């Protein structure tokens, strides 16, 4: 089968490898669509393991069923979670499924940027989702990123009517904009350094957009009746964005650090001013649980989050290198979809 083998963001090669063989409890999935995630282009996170077949946002159909699998058959349209929790450890039982040791060890074989992948038995058991007719394969690639966004906003515990500031209007930021609007935010404001993405933020529901290189607290007060933001969601790892978030949050507010930084990044925090005097909460979010996937699927099925409109590029495996460049450069693209079965 053909795969897009990642060596680095500027070196992605079309290669051949054997179709994975499945065992008991496993499935072979023919991948019809796979999204390129912002985390896929974090070279510092992956270079020591290259070459790799990446891709964890998938839609496809079952091509073969392993012994003992019940409830699924060849031809079923599916999406799947690449990381799944054990559901029985201390972390899972306390609601922190995404820090479960099992979740961090599970994955696809080899990855979504391939014509086929093997779904291990544990993923079949607790991370497989049948696609309703209303959801296309390319829309299914949004289930995983939207699930992560859902988990982040749930952890942030935003009351309805509050002002939400989203720093960074890439795909994650735009999903946060739409979800915050869906969950009843009073005002949603987005920032970015790129005009293309600021226009996209307005198109997908932001009440106002601000250029990230401006005096963010001052501009925020101008468009928010003199107040800062009750919830600040940071969707970029830029150090300047982290510093902006600390200055843009209202008293009693929350900052959700949704995106990772480069390794070793630290920022100074005034304990007295931020926490003791102003009761600001800092929180983070990583990945998603199976319940988050189910909720994301339901939102996409209902059309509540219009994900299809966010797709800017559809490419074949042979063009995966271009796809990685588009995502890494973070300009003039929103969602890049790879269609492994395309031959043009």
pLDDT greater than 90 at residue 344: no
What DSSP designation does 52 have? B
pLDDT reported for residue 343: 86
* Spacing of C-alpha 60 from chain mean position: 18
Q: Which CATH number is associated with domain 2-142+305-339?
A: 3.90.180.10
* Mean pLDDT over each residue of the chain, to the nearest integer: 97
Q: Which CATH number is associated with domain 149-284?
A: 3.40.50.720
Whole-number percent of the chain with pLDDT over 90: 97
- With 0.95 as the threshold, say if the pTM is over it: yes
pLDDT reported for residue 259: 96
* pLDDT band at 226; cut points 50, 70, 90: very high
> pLDDT of 96-127, one tens digit each?
999 999 999 999 999 999 999 999 999 999 99
pLDDT greater than 90 at residue 133: yes
Q: Using alpha carbons, select from 129, 18, 126, 119 the residue that is nearest to residue 66.
A: 119
Helix (H, G, I), strand (E, B) or coil at 257: strand
- The residues near 331 (Cβ < 8 Å, ≥ 6 apart) are 194, 196
pLDDT reported for residue 7: 98
Q: Where in the chain are the domains? A: 2-142+305-339, 149-284
Where do we find the tokens 């500027």?
10
> pLDDT of 271-316, one tens digit each?
998 899 999 999 999 999 999 999 999 999 999 999 999 999 999 9
pLDDT reported for residue 12: 98
> pLDDT of 12-48, one tens digit each?
999 999 999 999 999 999 999 999 999 999 999 999 9
pLDDT reported for residue 39: 94
> Torsion angle, CA of 138/142/144/149, rounded to 10 degrees?
180
């Amino acid at each position: 089968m053909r795969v897009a083998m990642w060596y680095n963001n500027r070196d992605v090669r079309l290669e051949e490898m054997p179709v994975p063989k499945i065992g008991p409890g496993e499935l072979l999935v023919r991948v019809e669509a796979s999204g390129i995630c912002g985390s896929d282009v974090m070279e510092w996170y992956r270079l020591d393991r290259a070459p790799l077949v990446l891709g964890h946002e998938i839609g496809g159909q079952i091509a073969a069923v392993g012994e003992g699998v019940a409830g699924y058959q060849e031809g079923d349209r599916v999406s799947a979670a690449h990381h799944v929790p054990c559901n029985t450890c201390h972390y899972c039982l306390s609601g922190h499924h995404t820090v479960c040791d099992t979740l961090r060890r599970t994955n696809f074989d080899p990855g979504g940027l391939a014509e086929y992948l093997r779904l291990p038995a544990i993923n079949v058991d607790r991370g497989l989702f049948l696609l309703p007719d209303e959801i296309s394969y390319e829309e299914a690639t949004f289930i995983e990123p939207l699930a992560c966004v859902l988990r982040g906003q749930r952890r942030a515990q935003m009351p309805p009517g509050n002002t939400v500031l989203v720093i960074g209007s890439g795909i994650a930021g735009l999903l946060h904009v739409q979800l915050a609007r869906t969950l009843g935010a009073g005002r949603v404001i987005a920032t970015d350094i790129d005009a293309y993405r600021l226009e996209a933020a307005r198109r997908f529901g932001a009440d106002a957009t601000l250029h990230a290189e401006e005096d963010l607290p001052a501009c925020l007060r101008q468009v928010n009746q003199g107040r800062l933001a009750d919830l600040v969601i940071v969707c970029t790892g830029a150090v300047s964005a982290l510093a902006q978030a600390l200055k843009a949050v209202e008293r009693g507010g929350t900052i959700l650090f949704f995106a990772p930084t480069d390794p070793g990044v630290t920022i100074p925090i005034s304990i007295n001013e931020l926490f003791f005097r102003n009761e600001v909460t800092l929180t983070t979010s990583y990945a998603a649980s199976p319940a988050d996937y189910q909720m994301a699927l339901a939102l996409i099925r209902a059309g509540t989050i219009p994900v299809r409109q966010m797709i800017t590029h559809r490419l074949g495996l042979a063009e995966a290198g271009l796809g990685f460049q588009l995502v890494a450069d973070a300009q003039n693209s929103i969602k890049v979809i790879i269609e492994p079965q395309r031959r043009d």
